[in-house]
Amino acid sequence: MAETLPTEFERTDIGEIQIAPEVIEVIAGLATVEVRGVAGMSGGFAGGIAELLGRKNLSKGVKVEVGQREAAVDVSVIVEYGHRLPEVAGEIQRNVKRSIENMTGLTVIEVNVHIHDVHFMKSVEKTEELDLAQRVK
Instruction: Please state, in angstroms and as integers, the Cα–Cα distance from residue 99 to each residue in 8, 29, 63, following that order.
Output: 22, 10, 16
Across-strand partners of 110? 72
Residue 137's pLDDT is: 57
Residue 45's pLDDT is: 47
CA dist., res. 45 & res. 54, Å (int): 15
Task: Spell out the domains of the chain, with CATH numbers in brackets.
Answer: 8-135 (3.30.70.1350)
pTM (two decimals) = 0.75
What is the average per-residue pLDDT within 44-56? Answer: 49
What is the average per-residue pLDDT within 56-73? Answer: 86
Across-strand partners of 50? 45
Model confidence at 134, pLDDT cuts 50, 70, 90, reads: low
Residue 80's pLDDT is: 94
Of 9-13, 17-21, 105-109, the one with minimum mean pLDDT is 9-13
- Type of residue at 32: T
